[in-house]
Amino acid sequence: MSGSEIVFYLFAALAVGSAIVTVTRQNPVVAAVWLVASFVAVAVSYVLLSATFLAVLQILVYAGAMMVLFVFVIMVLDVDEEGDAESRRPMRGSRFGYSLVLLLAGGMVVWVFVATLSKQFITPGARIDPAADFGSADAVGRLLFTDYLFAFEAVSLLLLAAVIGAVVVARSRREREKEAAAGGMQPEHMEAAGLSHPEQIVPGPFAQTDFGAPSAGGHQGGN
Amino acid sequence: MVPITHFLYLASALFVIGMLGVLLRRNVLIVLMSIELMLNGANIALVAFSRFHANLDGQVMAMFTIAVAAAEAAVGLAIVVSIFRSRTGTDIDDLSMLRD
C-alpha cells in the first residue's frame, strides 16, 4: 500500500464519516463544524487527483466563506438547541415516502457499483499520465479565460445577481415599508403588498434579533 | 495509485448521504448543508474523471459548481432569514405558504 493510497483511504473515511455526522446532528452549529471537516477531507482527495488549485479553492470558498455565512446565519437566527420538535418527529412524510427514499439511495449506490464493476462505462486501466502543470492555477486559468470565457462571465453575473437577490430577500419588513413610503407608494398599494404604512406603526422597540437570555454564569472573560 | 472506481465510490457515498439529509431532515439549515454535500460528491466525480482522462475540462466544471454553490447558499440563507423573521422557525414542513 503506497503513501497516496493510505492518505486517500484515511481522508475518504474522514469525509464520509463527518458527512454522516453532519446529517445526523440536532444542533446546526455542530453540523456546520463537521461539514468543514468533510470539506477539508474532500480537498485532500482533490490534491491526490492533482487538482491543487481546486483544492485551495475548496478550502477558501467552502470551508472559509460559505461556512462563515452558515454560522453567521445560525447565530443571527438564534435557533434553539432542541431543533424545534425534530426529536419528536424524526421522519418527514409517510412510511411509504421513507421507504421510497431508502430505495432511491440504495439504488444509486448499487447502480454505481454495477457501473464500475462491469467496466462498461469506464476503463480503470486506461490511465493517461497528465502533463507536469496539470491542475495548476496557470493551466486552469488559461482554460478558464479562453475556452470557458463566456461561461466564466455568465457565472460572475450569476454571483452578482445572487448577492443583490440575497440583500433584497433578507431585508426586514420595516426596511421595505420605509423604502416603499419613501418611493411614494400609495397606502392602499402597500396594503395590497402586505405592508403597513410606517405612520400606522406604533413606535416601540423594533428588535430584529433576539439574542436570548444571558447565560447563568455570565461571561467569565480571559482565555 | 488509487483506482478511479474508489474515487467514484467516495463521490457516490457523499452524494447519497447528502440526498438522505435533504429528503429526511426537517431543519432547513441542515437541508442546505446536505445540498452542499451532494454538490461536493458531484465535484469529486468530475475531478476524478478529469484526472484519469488527463483533461482539465472537468476541473473547470468543478470550479463553476463551486461558484454556483456559493450563489445558491447565499440566496438560500437569505430566504431562511426572511422566513425566520416572519414565521419564527426552521422546520421545512411548516413552510407551505406557496401551496396554500
Low-confidence winner among A54-58, A198-202, B87-91 (lowest mean pLDDT): A198-202
Summarize the confidence of residues A41-48 as an average pLDDT: 93
> A164 or A87: whose pLDDT is higher?
A164
Residues sharing a CB contact under 8 Å with residue B92, sequence separation 6 or more, in sequence order: A92, B26, B27, B28, B31
Q: Distance between CA atoms of A23 and B22, rounded to whole angstroms?
A: 9
pLDDT digits 0-9 by tens, A77-93: 876 554 444 444 445 55
**Grid coordinates of A25:** 446532528
Summarize the confidence of residues A161-166 as an average pLDDT: 93
User: In chain A, which residue's Cα lies nearest the Cα of B92?
Assistant: A92
- Across the interface, whether the CB atoms of B40 and A8 are under 8 A apart is answered no
Task: Count Cβ atoms below 10 Å from residue A20 Cβ, excluding itself.
Answer: 18
Query: Is pLDDT at A103 greater than 90 in this prediction?
Result: no
- Across the interface, whether the CB atoms of B18 and A23 are under 8 A apart is answered yes
Mean model confidence pLDDT for chain B:
86
**So what's the pLDDT on residue A179?**
77
- Across the interface, whether the CB atoms of B1 and A131 are under 8 A apart is answered no
Query: Is pLDDT at A13 greater than 90 in this prediction?
Result: yes
| Residue found under cell 432511491 | A104
User: In chain B, which residue's Cα lies nearest the Cα of A8?
Assistant: B2
Give the minimum alpha-carbon distance from A127 to chain B in angstroms, rounded to a whole number: 5
Task: Count Cβ atoms below 10 Å from residue A119 Cβ, excluding itself.
Answer: 11
| Alpha helix positions (H), A170-208 | 173-182, 187-192
The torsion of the CA quartet A24, A27, A28, A33, rounded to 10 degrees, works out to -80
Please name which of A120, A18, A112 lies closest in space to residue B8, comparing C-alpha atoms. Answer: A112
Query: Is pLDDT at A208 greater than 50 in this prediction?
Result: yes
> A11 or A109: whose pLDDT is higher?
A11
**So what's the pLDDT on residue A18?**
95
Mean model confidence pLDDT for chain A:
79
pLDDT digits 0-9 by tens, A165-182: 998 888 877 777 777 778
**So what's the pLDDT on residue A106?**
86
pLDDT digits 0-9 by tens, B37-86: 999 999 999 999 888 888 889 999 999 999 999 999 999 999 888 887 77
Residues sharing a CB contact under 8 Å with residue A133, sequence separation 6 or more, in sequence order: A139
Interface predicted TM-score (ipTM) of this complex, two decimals: 0.89
**So what's the pLDDT on residue A155?**
95
Question: What DSSP assignment string belongs to chain B?
Answer: ---HHHHHHHHHHHHHHHHHHHHH--BHHHHHHHHHHHHHHHHHHHHHHHHHTT-THHHHHHHHHHHHHHHHHHHHHHHHHHHHHHH---BGGG--TTT-
